[in-house]
Structure 1
Amino acid sequence: MNRSNGDVADRSKTSGSDFLQLNVGDAPAGGLSDWLARRLRLAISDGRLPVGSRLPATRVLAGELRVSRGVVTEAYHRLIEDGHVAGRGRGGTVVVAAPVSAPAAGGPRETVDPPSTSALFVAAPGADVYDALRAAPARIDLTPGMPDLAAFPRTAWLRAERTVVGGLAPSDFGYGDPRGTPALRHAVANWLARNRGIRADPDQVVIVAGTAQAFGLLAQVLRDDGIREVAVEDPGSLGARQHLNHWHLEAPPIPVDADGIRVDALRAQGAPVVLLTPAHQFPTGVVLGGERRRDLMRWADTEGGLIIEDDYDAEHRYDRPPVPALRSMLAEHVCYAGSVSKLLAPALRVGWVLAPPKYRDALVDAKRFADLGNAVLPQLVLAELMESGGMERQLRFLRPRHRRRRDAMIDAIGTHLPGAAVHGAAAGLHLTITFDAGFADVDLAAAALACGVKVQPLSWHSQRPTRPGLVLGYAARTPTEIGEGIATIGDALRRLSRSRHLTDDTRR
């Protein structure tokens, strides 16, 4: 229930608190919770409420401000949803994270130096573009690929950690198996059987440091086998393409349409390997259609092709039934890669690969000489979380939360970007929007960042000419932030359009 219109005992008398010098007289009529949440968020951002500090009890602050307790409770709840504070029972409500940046209350939006944004958003981004984009300051980050980090299951993780560490023998703190701990390989095999329809023996599982390392190791193995090309979807992930190129593999583009990758174009291109995101194509969000799947299986079976299946966010679905993994259909021709980056957090750097027998030993060798295997303790904790049912509980918790945020983004796009077409809404953690031609999407992305909103241009992920568009992540932001971010993009687009029209008039 929204209590933003909460009562004030007597608005003719100014009520306030020594805490942050809050003065109810500064609040707009009918928006007390919004006002209080903004003031608290600003204090967290500028350091007046550092991480670890405790907020006043709701009853106490409501009494000092002479407002209903529901006003304070709702303001605190909004900060909890944002991931800035957390309820600690008798320990009260505690600040746990600060925003990267926040606008002054009622003040103008912060901006980023225009030269830096224009240098970042170029048509041919370099290898460090993601590092630069992550480092760029912004009020609202709508870049794709990030789950709801505020929802990380801290309590469940700590419980699993205590269980694991309490039962370890001294010998368990030594070097581990480069393939991964037996406990995690067993847990991953069970997880894939339950959730992706893949039957695999734990010995077939190789634990890696995320999907990024999986691509790097596979690229080395394939190159040593004489392969020089891995075809990729177009549009398709810029990051995946960069990893292949780094290991001196060409990544020829294969067009994607409403049914997924064009298998006829794959055949015509002639590459022996293809990298796919069949359950939720990145970035368009389409699902590889049934006839395309059968045609792709025929290509692999009769022509000896190898499929690298990047199953990066298949568990996050909202409006459609589950889609089986390709690995479940033709295991000997599919190299399957997945991770917990979109389920829990990228910071864990834990993923897995199931390779066909032909490449399994070479993949283990590559992993061994890369790092001797992932860190053992996080593997054991993750295995405990997976086997205890904690991962399924987390997924059940996230789905409705993500759905609400997706719906908020779609609604905001309809309001502020009415000319945009929305793609890939049925699943995943991001949407792609496209526009009629007439401007460069890198210019729109730069203009949005200059106004404090971070996005990715669709052209980054396209090797061939395409309609201008943006790839927008919604899972890591609150509905309020999403609405403000899309409104800012709408403002940036209108300014860009006016500037273009002025330039055209001048040229006439």
Structure 2
Amino acid sequence: MSRSRTNSGAGELLVELRRETAVPLHQQLESGIRERIRQGLLRADTVMPSTRALATDLGLSRGVVVEAYQQLVAEGYLVSRTGGYTQVAPAAARAPQAGTKKQPSGPPRIDFKYSRPDVSQFPRAAWLRSIRRVLNETPHLSFAYLDGRGADELRMALADYLNRVRGTSALPENMLICNGFAQGSRLLLQVLAASGFQRLAVEDPSDNELRDVAETAGLKTVGVPVLESGLDVEALERSGADVVLVTAAHQFPTGAVASAETRAALVEWAGRRDALIIEDDYDAEYRYDREPIGAMQGLAPDRVVYAGTASKTLAPGLRLGWLILPSRLVEAMAAAKVVDDRGSPVLDQLTFADFVARGEFDRHLRRMRPRYRELRDALVDRLADRLPDLKPIGVSAGLHVMTWLPPDLSEDAVMRAALDRGLGVYGLAPYWVDRAGPAGLVFGYGGLTEAAVVEGIDLLADAVASVRDHS
């Protein structure tokens, strides 16, 4: 009868032993371990289970395991270390055999990929203090299943913060905590489609990730051009949309700021059409050369869904996002959240609530603004020095800038030449919705150092020169 178990020792080791065969058990164990090392499934320096633990787990005598280990040590597959533990020998371990999928090459050495804040500056000490307070002071019942909207403490802390800093009109009972904008927007579009909404208008150009989500939810997506003053509301009128997604405070990727006239026109459109505005306020806390601009939600709380996230301000890995909902959507959204995942992790919510309520969030943002501004200035200055025909726009806020490309340069050619030099730069092509718009580049700088920004633009200048030389 075939018999296999997984060990409970220092590391898992799945070995199949066939007790009905004439092959001794120690040889079967040797063969199983040897083959896994050859296949690269046990990597160099992996600590093996102790002989006693492995023998217990596999139902063997310890002597059988000792004999197998000794043989593999003699063959050079394992090494015995001081302290009585055994590891896979570095010389014996190898990568997976030929015929397996070739692994992709590593990332660029310098990468201007958008949506990367400087996670090295995450406020660990302040976050740890909040975790300790939560663990020491939170009642036991707070760790039970939550209302679909999320922890009361976080909804109250965020409502106070957003009303103060972003000019929203948020009520804690109308807020919903989600796992970042990705989950929040997906659930929202599903609820809207089920409620009878049919056509979603998005800025053109705009982030492309939400379009597939909208279509999966059953909504038709239509692009609306972006002007210097924000979304073209006249084009929105002609689109037939009944819901529109905007990044009004700092449009992605152009950086355009919706004017007061555009905001008023959007609200008027929503009221007249009985439509809905989704306001993605993804990086409005980072502003450098202009006064803060309040959120649209404060103008029309019954017509605007406000979406925010900690991804750009703290770290994307936290997966913390929030929605301020019109009252009529709260119940359906809370139910959708419960069905989707039973609620976001409560410890993270309560920690963030404490972090916000004690002013740590404000302090972190005050510390990061000058840091990001220095990176922005280094990028803009170096572009002016080395590539003066790439004029940056949308530089007054956020963690990215955009440049249009001159007619003699194509996005693909520049990106390929840059990648050959270990540099990641990214074109506008994926962001256009209903048209093939002008060529350009988007530079995310939040996760870079000033030296990397300067070197990156120098590499880009060399790449552009190479493209022009070969054209």
**Could you tell me which amino acid in structure 1 is paired with residue 394 of structure 2?**
G
For normalisation by structure 2, the TM-score amounts to: 0.76
Quick one: which amino acid aligns to residue 213 of structure 2? Answer: H
- Cα distance in 2 for partners of 1:440, 1:184 equals 47
- Structure 1 residue 380, shift from structure 2 partner: 0.6
Equivalent residue for 1:292? 262
With over 3 angstroms needed to count, the CA separation of the structure-2 counterparts of 1:276 and 1:492, relative to structure 1, is same
CA distance in 2, matches of 1:223, 1:355: 16
Q: Conserved in 2, the CA contact under 8 Å of 1:229 and 1:249? A: yes
Match for residue 125 of structure 2?
155
**Which residue of structure 1 lines up, in the alignment, with residue 193 of structure 2?**
223
In structure 2, stretches of 5+ residues that fail to align are 1-101
1:488 is aligned to: 459
1:39-438 matches, within 5 Å, as 136-438=106-408
RMSD over aligned Cα, in angstroms?
Answer: 1.5
Give the letter aligned to residue 360 of structure 1: V
What's 1:29 paired with?
A: none
What number of residue pairs does the alignment pair up? 368
Measured against aligned partners, the alpha-carbon deviations of 1:369-411 in whole angstroms (never above 9, x if no partner) come to 0001100001110001000000000010001001000000001
SS of alignment partner, residue 251 of structure 1: strand
Query: Identity over the aligned pairs, expressed in percent?
Result: 40
- Output the TM-score relative to the length of structure 1: 0.70
Q: What amino acid is aligned across from residue 471 of structure 1 in structure 2?
A: V
1:399-448 Cα shifts (integer Å, max 9, x gaps): 10010000000011112211101110100010001112233313322332
* Counterparts of 2:232 and 2:304, CA distance in 1: 18
The partner residue of 1:468 within 439, 447, 451 is 439
Q: Is 1:498 paired with 2:447?
A: no
Counterpart contact for 2:147–2:334, Cα < 8 Å: no
Runs of 4+ in 1 over 4 A off after TM superposition: none
What is the alpha-carbon distance in structure 2 between the residues aligned to residue 244 and residue 451 of structure 1? 37
Deviations 1:129-166 (A, max 9, x none): xxx9xx85111121111111111101111111111111
Answer yes or no: is the 8 Å Cα contact 2:169–2:301 preserved in 1.
no
* One-letter identity of the residue aligned with 2:128: L
Which has more helix, going by share of residues?
Answer: 1
1:436-486 CA deviation, whole Å, 9 max, x = no partner?
A: 223331332233223212222111111222221111111111110001111
Q: Report SS of the residue matched to 2:220.
A: coil
Q: In 2, Cα distance between the equivalents of 1:273 and 1:136?
A: 40
Which structure 1 segments of 5+ residues have no match? 1-115, 117-131, 501-508
Q: For 1:440 and 1:251, locate their aligned partners in 2 and report how far apart those are by CA, in whole Å.
A: 27
User: Counterpart of 1:476 in structure 2: which amino acid?
Assistant: G
Distance change in 2, residues 1:441/1:245 (3 Å): farther
Q: Return closer, same or farther for 1:297/1:171 CA change in 2, 3 Å cut-off.
A: closer
CA distance in 1, matches of 2:216, 2:142: 36
CA shift, 1:286, in A, is 0.8
Distance 1:242 1:407 in 2: 35
- Aligned partner of 2:451: which letter? T
State the alpha-carbon separation in 2 of the partners of residues 485 and 404 from structure 1: 15
Whichever residue aligns with residue 305 of structure 2, its letter is C
